[in-house]
Amino acid sequence: MKSRIELHPARNPSLSRGKTKPAALLTTPQAPRLPIRLLTAVPICDGHDSAINTINLEFIRQGIEVIYLGYHRSAGDIVRAAVQEDVRAIGLSSYNGGHVEFFAEVLNLLKKYGARDIGVFGGGGGTITPADARAMEKNGVDRIFFPGTPLTEMVTFVKKSYGAPRSIRVPRASRTTTLTDRHLAQLLTAVEMKAHCPKLSSQRSVKPSRVIGITGPGGAGKTTLIDELVLRFLGAAPRARVAILSHDPSLVGHGALLGDRATMIYSQNDRVFMRSVATRGQSGGLSPATEPSLDVLKYCGFDLVLVETVGIGQEALPFGRELVDRTILVMSPDYGSRLQLQKIVMLDVADILVLNKSDLAAAKTAAAEIEQRLALNQRGQKLICTAAKRHRDPGVDALFQWLQP
């Protein structure tokens, strides 16, 4: 097919444009059964995350993939994330009041996104009275759990309510299609199910998005760095859009806690499309879904696509040959000895090496050692020192400049 199509996620993703062509109906039985994906969060102005942390762990143990958005999150952030992640349901833990209004706002926003098939359940302290719960359930909340509910009861509820094979409508890519966040998210799910390969690249004549791969050991600060880059990106180009494909490990035999969103401040934005992916048994830092997902994201009108791997080991080369346009290896100064540095294979292939946490005492030595290591490669690799946790860190500014096309 050689039709020219415009595959933009809607500029205003809070509303679906409804201009899609008749959709293809897909059901999971034809495809590998995917784990249940849930989004959990604590509402705005509420920092009570103790209960939800415990519940998240139990969900993961029971094979569920949990995208955790963290505490003090607005209904807008929650629904945007739930739609982008194409979860089956949203679980909210509310402790300090205002729950009736908050849950109602979440339901309303889901409706606006055309995503009322995403379930909503919740619970919290005894501030939610039985009368409140009845009213909330009448209003569309699937279930409110009261204090003292055994964790197993919640897991059973989730599996029963949200575990059934689902059918999703995948928008046909055509010239007039305008992809909303909702449609793009469903397309990614279809791709994960291996049930649908839209072959967007062959349908499109415009240039694909620039893709930057970001990898590095766990704890180096990859997520923080990405969030800070997104802040600069959004500030520099007032209409630009960015996509993030963020990986977290699945636990052996279990689900996964996909928690990168929880530590992101600036990426909760209508111009950012973020998808959290569990590795689902694949080693090396990425997921079986990575490549097909990137194939979709690259042709959806994003100005930039960022791919974050899970924390990698010394021998990992997560991006292969052609997956991304540029690679950034993020390290912190605590990599061990100079000998350890020799063993890090990514140092040979990364285009940019970011030494994060450059405020630490060991950073000076580390920078010198890494410089030497890169010099041996003779590939013109760039070393940039950052302290991404600092507000307006000049190192991150420099990295951002370097990444400009």
Q: What single letter denotes the amino acid at residue 294?
A: L
Helix axes 394-403, 222-236, angle to 10 degrees: 70
Considering beta carbons, is residue 235 or 320 the nearer one to other proteins? 235
Q: Provide, rounded to whole angstroms, the least separation between the CB of residue 225 and other proteins.
A: 11
Q: Provide, rounded to whole angstroms, the least separation between the CB of residue 65 and other proteins.
A: 16
Considering beta carbons, is residue 41 or 374 the nearer one to other proteins? 41
Element (H, E) at 365: helix 363-377
Residues 6+ apart with CB under 8 A from 219: 311, 332
Q: CA 237: distance to chain centroid?
A: 22
Q: Provide, rounded to whole angstroms, the least separation between the CB of residue 130 and other proteins.
A: 5
Contact 100, 131 (CB under 8 A): no
Considering beta carbons, is residue 10 or 100 the nearer one to other proteins? 100
Instruction: Name the DSSP letter for residue 223.
Output: H
Q: Provide, rounded to whole angstroms, the least separation between the CB of residue 164 and other proteins.
A: 27
Q: Provide, rounded to whole angstroms, the least separation between the CB of residue 259 and other proteins.
A: 5
Considering beta carbons, is residue 111 or 379 the nearer one to other proteins? 111
Binding site for other proteins (CB under 8 A): 44-51, 53-54, 57, 68, 70-72, 74-76, 96-102, 105, 125-130, 146-148, 150-151, 224, 227, 259, 262-263, 265, 389-392
Which residues in 8-21 are b (16+ Cβ under 10 Å) and which e? Answer: ebbeebeebeeebe
Considering beta carbons, is residue 239 or 391 the nearer one to other proteins? 391
Contact 215, 318 (CB under 8 A): yes
Instruction: Name the DSSP letter for residue 96.
Output: S
Q: Provide, rounded to whole angstroms, the least separation between the CB of residue 216 and other proteins.
A: 17
Contact 140, 129 (CB under 8 A): no
Q: What single letter denotes the amino acid at residue 301?
A: G
Considering beta carbons, is residue 125 or 284 the nearer one to other proteins? 125
For residue 188, what are the CA distances in angstroms to 15, 80, 261, 296, 301?
19, 15, 18, 7, 15
Considering beta carbons, is residue 106 or 211 the nearer one to other proteins? 106
Q: Provide, rounded to whole angstroms, the least separation between the CB of residue 32 and other proteins.
A: 29
Q: At 352, list the tokens.
A: 């940019």
Considering beta carbons, is residue 209 or 267 the nearer one to other proteins? 267
- In degrees and rounded to multiples of 5, residue 189 shows phi and psi of -65, -45
Q: Provide, rounded to whole angstroms, the least separation between the CB of residue 358 and other proteins.
A: 14
Q: 3-state class of 103 per DSSP?
A: helix
